[in-house]
Structure 1
Amino acid sequence: MQNFWLNSLLYSPAILGLFIVLVPAMGSEVPVNQVPTTNQPSSFSNAENIGQVTSVSQLSDVKPTDWAFQALQSLVERYGCIAGYPNQTYRGNRALTRYEFAAGLNACLDQINQLIATSTADLVKKEDLATLQKLQEEYTAELQTVRGQVDALEARNATLESQQFSTTTQLRGEAIFALAGAFGSDRAINTDAQNRGDTRPELDENVIFADRVRLNFDSSFTGKDRLRVRLQARNITSFNTAVTGTNQTRLGFDVNESNDVSVSALFYRFPLSDSTTFNIATEGLEYIDEVPVLSRNFDSSGSGAVSRFGRYNPIYRAAEGPGIIINQKFNDALTLTAGYVVPSGVGNDPANGRGIFNGSYSALGQLTFQPTSELSLAFTYVNAYYTDGSGVTGSTGTAFANNPFNGARTSVNNYSVTGNYKLSSKFTITAWGSYANAQAENTAVARSNAEIWNWAVQLGFPDLGREGNFGGIVFGVPPYVADNQFVNGNNRRQDDDISYHLEAFYRYKLNDNIAITPGLITILNPEGNSNNSNIYVGVVRTTFTF
């Protein structure tokens, strides 16, 4: 790699004039701390495509106009001492300058000196040595200039190598600035509270300005594996039941931790074979990290939908924390995924009713079928258990759906179908439907069943307005309890009405590192109660990536 840059840089006309200026530019294309991963092509792949030029005549920019060209051509073809680009051009159709010629001559001098130093001097002909001496005398001044540039480049390269962040680790960062506010007449209350005669508290309508910062340290030791350590700090207040009376208004990147820095993800992914990958984590593993959720351009918290429900199917929110996920790819069209994840704070606790196998957990199986590049289908099943009965729908639906049995231990069988179809390069559609059967497991509570449903349609408009922008519309029904045999006092924890979620957002890409996404969320019949007024959430999310 180093030899290529030294030779090709010296032969480039633009670089000979602006040597020091262009070195950092090239460094930005091939970072010294670039770490190849299994889901990203290696940044060093460009170097693998570089070919060896063995004839000066292959360099279309070099014109054979005098004896010096013929002499150097003979040396290059005999000793193979010039490296060039695959298309044999040097950015422009013009004659070879004296400095460029001197660079090629210097390369041949180095090559022949190496042959002599390695006791292969018998391969060097006397006539060639005489030709080199004549060429050196002709281009003495130019050779001195070129060699000075080479020394400067080598010194700069040594500095970069000694000061680079890491040879195995790459830093990826993301910072979100969020301007957001919830609006409406009153907070939502569920039918249980309404039947008790509870009044509707006033909605907190003050606009907030908050942030979330993530630093991902991605390391690779084989070129095909990835160890991720994520540091996170955030202070984004959740628009949940405490603010709006419902979790249906939550943002897709919220949670307020007062900007305390913590390790929010720690996992290692590696291939077991060419078709099987294994992911193991002690913290922060989400199913969307490894399971194809099919909600392309919607699923990212930093660049996708602005709401929690609108990002992807809630079935993938069964748990987040320690666990394992295995992907088995049978062919280009069929992939099987299996995972086991327990909630954060549970897997590392040996207390009774906690730990990896004695507390809350979720087990997922999914078959992903992609018969064409335009169509993808996913059939997903999740079996989960919640010791405190909460978290059934990942805080995306009504209070009854998220905790159907008022804190009783709960087991859930969740079934879902998701489809994505790319109608054109400018329009995609994703749809899902999920059904969950939840059961109360407490011995003190009569065994009860609850049926929970949700569905949504996502309309995506890639490159809307300009390349890199994205417009999205989400319409659906957040999780709600359609039927529940559990009776709490005189009330059944069942939603009388269906809530509807309508969301629109537009991601405007200022440049490769900054994007601004305004969005509007509307919740109709919040908390499954048509007596509640509609609630609106406005968001302007600015995302910086580096």
Structure 2
Amino acid sequence: MSNFRWNYRCILFLLSLLDILTILVCYPAKSQAELPKYNASTAEVEVKKPPEAVVNQTVETSIAPLSSEKATNNITGAVTPVSQLLEIAPRTRKKATNNVAGQVTSVSQLSDIKPTDWAFQALQSLIERYGVIAGYTDSTFKGNRALTRYEFAAGLNAALDRLNELIATSTTDLVKREDLDTIKKLQEQFSPELAQFRRRLDTLETRTAKLEATQFTTTTKLIGRGQIVIGSVLEGNNVLTKKPAAHNITLQGSTSLRLNTSFNGKDSLGITLGGGNIESLGQTRAGLLGTFEGRTADNSSITFARNQILLSGVRYRFLPYPNTQVNIYALSDGASEIGLSGPINPYFESSSATGANGISRFSRRSLVYNYGDSGPGIAILQGLGKQVQFGIAYSAPNGNNPIPNNGLFTGRYLALAQLIYYSSNRNFRVAATYVNTYSPANTRGLSGTNFGPAVGSNLVNSTVAGAGTVANLYGLQAFYQINPKLAINGWVSYGAHRYLGHGDGEAMDWAVGLAFPDLFSEGALGGFLVGMEPKIISLTKGVNLGAGAGQADKDTSLHVEAFYQYKIGDNIEVTPGLIWITAPDSDVSNPDSLFAWVRTVFRF
């Protein structure tokens, strides 16, 4: 460099080059950590997608809607090439992409650059004299971002390419020709370093392309959920022993880990691991109250050991057509895959992301959904325009068991069909549901019954020993968001049972619920529900379910429930609630029962 001819013009021009390098070091276009991300994952069937029933525990799902559009979940992003972030004018000018704007012509077009900034004059020179700086679509330069070595190399190369253009065109209005010759010699002297940077960039692009071509998936999301519950019976008897139930306070918990994976942005593979030790107050007849009535929704499966982590859900969903969704599940149920895809009852059973859940199983689901049980099956949802959805599902609770009277098609099954209508603004919806179900004699599912809704009276969950049971179930459910602070929902269900070789029976339930979003606090939720849990309203004389031949439930039991969900930040919520059952087991001779439940949920 000692042979170079130095004069004041050379020094000024070299300072300009140093200005370029200074701007690239201190005001880079954008670091790779901040680059725009491409995300392809799954979205919700609806904004408030309900949880999939996994061993009777609520677990968040992230399922694509009936649309072929890709959603985002900010899991993995493809790095935007640096060449898209620097606009090189005019010979190598490219169309701006992502969030990079076109070449700005004046520094005043960048809203975050002020005349008092120490680099203002350098930026002004680079933009207005040389045209080597591009802004972003929001008219900012974002000069406070960190700079990577690769961005430095690309920026240096962009500046030198621009200088090469000036040399090639013999531009004299910006600098003297002899100064350009000096810079050209400087570029030649540093060409090995620039070549090394180019090789490293090429190697990086090659490795990135290889990883993208061979990686398993770019969109796996881990969703964790843990909960702690405190519960106690406050009043009431065991309906079988007629003795007062123990009033002991319990502290229990459960957890679930869910992996949601998308392979092409239009599908979702959900794998759930879970376990816990929560004992529902009304989960079985052998429980504290001797009845299924008032059964709490937070409970562990009675067929799995407590405090063990088990595979509790496997489901794959994909969109063969833009308005068609197919769900194949090895462990789930048709009610979750179809019946709750709306959901019809969003404030009492919704996704764990919103955390809107009632205390009891009854408050979440009507009779038509409760005869299902976790097992393998398939469900198909078809959009009929923007406001109507039709779905069908087939589930076999014991479909994984090859012994007689079990299996996918020779054992217990549930076939469901549902038609849902949504108003254009989604504040009203109504669904008509039909279910056909069959259970061979002497079989049992995860809920502990071989037939029946696993809520309600003991008779509605009973069968005739040694006989198979068939049922046709009909349900009508509706929801209306009156205003942002008030919503109402309700349902009525009817079930026609046939106890093969013995006779028939009829079952029924109904409920009306009120929800109060943002009650007392933003993000909070108040809920109140009253209804009649499923019960047998009539039996033919040839059927004896344990109360005598032809003897149905003789009285009406009412379920009254209230809860208040309070959010502590975005990931913790506490939900205290009370459940009051009048005439338990549909028998007025049984004193009312009352129990309290406090659920705390942690999401991560």
TM, length-normalised to structure 1:
0.78
Identity of aligned residues (%): 30
- Matched letter for residue 266 of structure 1: V
- Matched letter for residue 370 of structure 1: Y
Asked if 1:294 is matched to 2:294, the reply is no
Of the candidates 43, 65, 72, which is equivalent to residue 126 of structure 2?
72
- Matched letter for residue 289 of structure 2: T
**Counterpart for residue 554 of structure 2:** 496
Residues 301-343 of structure 1 deviation map (CA, whole Å, 9 limit, x = unaligned): 8530011111122322222210111010011111001100111
Q: Alpha carbons of 1:514 and 1:480: their partners in 2 closer, same or farther (altered >3 Å)?
A: same
Contact 2:334 2:379 in 1 (8 A): no
* Secondary structure class of the residue paired with 2:254: strand
**Counterpart for residue 290 of structure 2:** 245
**Counterpart for residue 306 of structure 1:** 359
**Counterpart for residue 386 of structure 1:** 439
Of the candidates 360, 385, 396, which is equivalent to residue 331 of structure 1?
385
* Segment of structure 1 superposing worse, 283-292 or 396-405: 283-292
* Secondary structure class of the residue paired with 2:277: strand
Deviation, structure 1 residue 166: 7.3
* Secondary structure class of the residue paired with 1:42: coil
Separation of aligned partners in 2, 1:73 and 1:102? 21
- Matched letter for residue 154 of structure 2: D
Of the candidates 440, 449, 455, which is equivalent to residue 510 of structure 2?
455
Deviation, structure 1 residue 57: 3.5
Deviation, structure 1 residue 38: 3.4
Q: Alpha carbons of 1:276 and 1:532: their partners in 2 closer, same or farther (altered >3 Å)?
A: same
Q: Alpha carbons of 1:468 and 1:101: their partners in 2 closer, same or farther (altered >3 Å)?
A: closer
Asked if 1:361 is matched to 2:413, the reply is yes
- Matched letter for residue 220 of structure 2: T
Deviation, structure 1 residue 37: 0.4
Separation of aligned partners in 2, 1:493 and 1:283? 36
Residues 428-484 of structure 1 deviation map (CA, whole Å, 9 limit, x = unaligned): 11110000101012xxx33x1111000111111111122211111111010000001
Separation of aligned partners in 2, 1:133 and 1:472? 74
Asked if 1:42 is matched to 2:86, the reply is no
Deviation, structure 1 residue 184: 2.2
Separation of aligned partners in 2, 1:467 and 1:461? 11
Separation of aligned partners in 2, 1:9 and 1:232? 49
Separation of aligned partners in 1, 2:222 and 2:216? 9
Deviation, structure 1 residue 83: 4.6
**Counterpart for residue 95 of structure 1:** none
Separation of aligned partners in 2, 1:102 and 1:459? 52
**Counterpart for residue 65 of structure 2:** none
* Secondary structure class of the residue paired with 2:392: strand
Contact 2:28 2:146 in 1 (8 A): no
* Secondary structure class of the residue paired with 1:287: helix
**Counterpart for residue 242 of structure 2:** 200
Of the candidates 455, 468, 491, which is equivalent to residue 523 of structure 2?
468
**Counterpart for residue 254 of structure 1:** 299
Separation of aligned partners in 1, 2:308 and 2:220? 24
Of the candidates 287, 303, 326, which is equivalent to residue 278 of structure 1?
326
**Counterpart for residue 82 of structure 1:** 134
* Secondary structure class of the residue paired with 2:460: helix
Indicate the structure (1 or 2) with the bigger Cα radius of gyration: 2
Contact 2:460 2:534 in 1 (8 A): yes
Contact 2:255 2:275 in 1 (8 A): yes
**Counterpart for residue 369 of structure 2:** 316
Contact 2:135 2:141 in 1 (8 A): no
Q: Alpha carbons of 1:37 and 1:279: their partners in 2 closer, same or farther (altered >3 Å)?
A: same
* Secondary structure class of the residue paired with 1:188: coil
Q: Alpha carbons of 1:332 and 1:103: their partners in 2 closer, same or farther (altered >3 Å)?
A: same
Separation of aligned partners in 2, 1:407 and 1:207? 39
- Matched letter for residue 367 of structure 2: P
**Counterpart for residue 377 of structure 1:** 430
Separation of aligned partners in 2, 1:364 and 1:10? 63
Of the candidates 155, 166, 182, which is equivalent to residue 233 of structure 2?
182
**Counterpart for residue 17 of structure 2:** none
Separation of aligned partners in 2, 1:247 and 1:333? 37
**Counterpart for residue 193 of structure 2:** none
Asked if 1:396 is matched to 2:455, the reply is yes
Q: Aligned-residue CA RMSD in angstroms? A: 4.0
Deviation, structure 1 residue 188: 1.6
* Segment of structure 1 superposing worse, 215-224 or 234-243: 234-243
Structure 2: 5+ residue stretches without partners? 1-22, 45-61, 63-70, 81-96, 187-196, 198-203, 443-448
Deviation, structure 1 residue 261: 1.1
Q: Alpha carbons of 1:524 and 1:169: their partners in 2 closer, same or farther (altered >3 Å)?
A: same
Asked if 1:54 is matched to 2:103, the reply is yes
- Matched letter for residue 253 of structure 2: D
Residues 95-145 of structure 1 deviation map (CA, whole Å, 9 limit, x = unaligned): xxxx769979x969724616979x9965886658969969x9xxxxxxxxx
Separation of aligned partners in 1, 2:25 and 2:452? 57
Residues 463-517 of structure 1 deviation map (CA, whole Å, 9 limit, x = unaligned): 1122211111111010000001143284434100111000000110001110000
Separation of aligned partners in 1, 2:515 and 2:40? 31
Contact 1:286 1:317 in 2 (8 A): no
Residues 220-239 of structure 1 deviation map (CA, whole Å, 9 limit, x = unaligned): 11011110100001111121
Q: Alpha carbons of 1:113 and 1:251: their partners in 2 closer, same or farther (altered >3 Å)?
A: same
Contact 1:8 1:83 in 2 (8 A): no
**Counterpart for residue 543 of structure 2:** 487
Deviation, structure 1 residue 207: 1.3
Separation of aligned partners in 1, 2:28 and 2:596? 53
Aligned residue runs from structure 1 range 147-166, under 5 A: none
- Matched letter for residue 368 of structure 1: I
Of the candidates 402, 406, 410, which is equivalent to residue 469 of structure 2?
410
Residues 28-62 of structure 1 deviation map (CA, whole Å, 9 limit, x = unaligned): x98x9x76203264035999962424214431122
* Segment of structure 1 superposing worse, 419-428 or 39-48: 39-48
Residues 173-224 of structure 1 deviation map (CA, whole Å, 9 limit, x = unaligned): 10010101123242124xxxxxxxxx51331221111111010011111011
* Secondary structure class of the residue paired with 1:68: helix
**Counterpart for residue 193 of structure 1:** none
* Segment of structure 1 superposing worse, 40-49 or 408-417: 40-49
Of the candidates 419, 423, 448, which is equivalent to residue 478 of structure 2?
419
Structure 1: 5+ residue stretches without partners? 1-6, 92-98, 137-146, 148-153, 190-198
Separation of aligned partners in 2, 1:261 and 1:122? 66
Residues 269-288 of structure 1 deviation map (CA, whole Å, 9 limit, x = unaligned): 00011100100011124522
Contact 2:239 2:590 in 1 (8 A): yes
* Secondary structure class of the residue paired with 1:213: strand
- Matched letter for residue 292 of structure 1: G
Length, aligned pairs only: 481
Q: Alpha carbons of 1:171 and 1:186: their partners in 2 closer, same or farther (altered >3 Å)?
A: same
Contact 2:100 2:134 in 1 (8 A): no
Separation of aligned partners in 2, 1:426 and 1:503? 19
* Secondary structure class of the residue paired with 2:475: strand
Contact 2:555 2:586 in 1 (8 A): yes
Higher RCO structure (Cα 8 Å, ≥6 apart): 2
Separation of aligned partners in 2, 1:354 and 1:225? 30
Separation of aligned partners in 2, 1:525 and 1:179? 25
Contact 2:314 2:331 in 1 (8 A): yes
